[in-house]
Every structure is written in structure tokens, then in C-alpha cells.
Amino acid sequence: MKIAFLAMAGLVMGVVGGATVGIGLGLAWIELFNTSEFEGYAGMLVFFTFMPLGALIGGLGGATLFGMAAFRDHELAIDGKRMPHQGIKGV
């Protein structure tokens, strides 16, 4: 359950972060390549191309990273349930 929750949290945070980065990259693209602003073309380019691509990549990356981190933590918790070391007797 913890793995699924953290993967979903990573998905949401990755989508928001990726969309933000996508908007920033789109605005940089417009300035760098002097994209035409006729009838809102530049804005449509940013919000219909760069933002969805950034959200998609960020969401997949966030869900993967958070899911892997939770899965590794789960593996460590399973390994930690071994019998504790008894120590040396007679000391």
C-alpha cells in the first residue's frame, strides 16, 4: 500500500513539476527561435506542446522514482526482520 501511495504522490508532484519546467522551456524556445506571436501562436505552442510533454515526462519520472524508492525501502524492511544477533555468551 505504501508503494502505491508513494508512486501516486510522485505522479502528482512529477506532473506539476514537469508542466512547470515545460512552460519554462517553451518560453525559452519562443525567445530563442523568435516564434511568431500572430493570433496567439506562441502561447498555443507553449501550452499545447511543451506543457503536456513536460507533464507527461515529469509524471512518469516522478512515479518511477518514488515507486522505486518505496520498493527499496520495503525490501530493506523485509531484510531487517531477521533474528537479532545473540552476542557472545559467558562475557
Q: What is the pLDDT of residues 23-70, one digit of tens each?
A: 999 999 999 999 999 999 999 999 999 999 999 999 999 999 998 988
- For residue 87, the model assigns a pLDDT of 59
Neighbour tally for 60: CB within 10 Å: 15
The arithmetic mean of pLDDT across residues 9-29, rounded, is 97
pTM: 0.76
And the C-alpha cell for 3?
508503494
- For residue 88, the model assigns a pLDDT of 64
Neighbour tally for 6: CB within 10 Å: 20
Domain ranges for the chain = 2-70
- For residue 2, the model assigns a pLDDT of 83
- For residue 70, the model assigns a pLDDT of 86
